[in-house]
Amino acid sequence: MSAQCCAGQLACCCGSAGCSLCCGCCPRIRQSRSTRFMYALYFILVVLLCCVMMSRTVANEMKERIPFYEDICKGIKAGDTCEKLVGYSAVYRVCFGMACFFFIFCLLTLNINSSKGCRAHIHNGFWFFKLLLLGAMCSGAFFIPDQETFLNAWRYVGAVGGFIFIGIQLILLVEFAHKWNKNWTAGTATNKLWYAALALVTLIMYSIAAGGLILMAVFYTQKDGCLENKILLGLNGGLCLLISVVAISPCVQNRQPHSGLLQSGLISCYVMYLTFSALSSKPVEVALDEHGRNVTICVPDLGQDLYRDENLVTGLGTTLLFMCILYSCLTSTTRSSSDALQGRYAAPELEVARCCFCFGPDGEDAEEQQNVKEGPRVIYDEKRGTVYSYSYFHFVFFLASLYVMMTVTSWFNYESANIETFFSGSWSIFWVKMASCWMCVLLYLGTLVAPLCCPSRQFSV
């Protein structure tokens, strides 16, 4: 048994076999999922390296604790204090290598519909060699000539790719809202309790959105001043009201009977979340009080105890942020999400109402489960064909690499960026989040208004 396990893991790392995540105690895992988890693991490793490179604390600790640190830095031609291996320029180079890695695999896996071909085997195996390739590409980026021109050009490529990644996630959020409403509405034909579920969830989401708007008005505005915050809160609150009215307007209902307040409630919650995130990312404003002292204004006065441990706040916040990015990558590469981006949706009459509608119906993998009673720990669920688009999967991770690069380096405030001040406020991050908020509203309004503007075309959401 031990020899078989070692042989299996060797085939996984150095051959084209599916990987069981190198753990005999883990439950059986489908090949399609294990492959995506392995690429996600590589992504996480590079992201952690980028965070280390942007950390002043790590750089200072290495300088103090590593013997002959300056001699080593000079020996590898990384500068007197290894300045070429830290900071935003190092992150740009490493993310360039990772982006190239995923882009090459995006091109390599174009138009793969079967998992039995040579290119599919490369995608699903050879993990050791792929790790070496990723390391070589990230390292090779440090030897690109004319670094100044490269960094300036790559910065704009990263900004475009980062915005495209945000756009894809916003499109999928709008698609998720429509899918949720359509699925639960389909259940009302056989069970009227689905009406109660729809009403309850809609009420909860609007309560959260309204409560969030009120709390932000209390904590992020003051009687005198904070005009910018007041305008933004009023604008975004008005946009939430607008999409709610449009969603239930008679003209929209005639063309899209499935449009309702559930979708607009979900979008309103997300708009309020982005508004809060943007306001909390603003650089602090300082004014003189009646005693002539500098005080911060237009921010919650919650005391300094919450922010005393800067490293703890940064660590927790960064971890949550990149977990969300990774989750977005994995969920946006499913077949249904890929179809949604191309405008292909399931027919309403084929919908089966489920509370957990994101997952497939029970029993859809019964055949695979019955066929794998004993033997390997990998369930080969792609015998009949691929269950997700390989090329699209790598393209999303390519865009995620650019988004991570821009996020870690504070977008266009790169020269003063470091991971310890990641949540201290930046105008670049503030406007990126506000732009994402307005883009989300425009995308949702587009799905409502498009059938009215183009009545001859067929729209299905």
DSSP symbols for 90-126: HHHHHHHHHHHHHHHHHHHTTT---TTSHHHHHHHS-
* Confidence band, pLDDT 50/70/90 cuts, at residue 362: very low
Q: What is the percent of the chain with per-residue pLDDT over 70, rounded to a whole number?
A: 71
| Total-model pTM | 0.80
| Residue 287 DSSP class | E
* Confidence band, pLDDT 50/70/90 cuts, at residue 282: confident
Query: What is residue 96's predicted lDDT score, i.e. its pLDDT?
Result: 95
Query: What is residue 100's predicted lDDT score, i.e. its pLDDT?
Result: 96
Residues in the chain: 461
Q: Tell me if residue 166 falls in helix, strand or coil.
A: helix
Query: What is residue 98's predicted lDDT score, i.e. its pLDDT?
Result: 95
pLDDT of 448 above 80: yes
Average pLDDT over residues 154-175: 89
* Confidence band, pLDDT 50/70/90 cuts, at residue 367: very low
Q: Mean pLDDT lowest for which of 230-234, 305-309, 392-396?
A: 305-309
Name the most confidently modeled range: 55-64, 355-364, 391-400: 391-400
Compare 264 and 190 and report the one with higher pLDDT: 264
Q: What is the percent of the chain with per-residue pLDDT over 90, rounded to a whole number?
A: 26
Q: How does pLDDT run across 96-153, given as a tens digit for each residue? A: 999 999 999 999 999 888 878 898 889 888 899 999 999 999 999 888 887 789 888 9
Average pLDDT over residues 172-190: 82
Beta pairing partners, 288? 294
Q: How does pLDDT run across 332-346, given as a tens digit for each residue? A: 666 666 565 555 555
Compare 251 and 303 and report the one with higher pLDDT: 251
pLDDT of 371 above 50: no
Compare 326 and 402 and report the one with higher pLDDT: 402
Average pLDDT over residues 272-280: 88
Q: What is the mean pLDDT of the chain?
A: 78
Average pLDDT over residues 367-385: 57
Query: What is residue 345's predicted lDDT score, i.e. its pLDDT?
Result: 54
Q: How does pLDDT run across 8-38, given as a tens digit for each residue? A: 555 556 655 555 554 455 556 677 788 888 9
Q: How far apart (Å, rounded) are the C-alpha atoms in residues 20 and 23?
A: 7
Query: What is residue 320's predicted lDDT score, i.e. its pLDDT?
Result: 67
**Amino acid letter, 171:** I
* Confidence band, pLDDT 50/70/90 cuts, at residue 193: confident
Q: Could you give the C-alpha distances from 296 to 96, 227, 306, 434, in angstroms and in order?
A: 39, 15, 16, 22
> Helices 193-219 and 147-187 sit at what angle, rounded to 10 degrees?
140
pLDDT of 315 above 80: no
Contact 409, 54 (CB under 8 A): yes
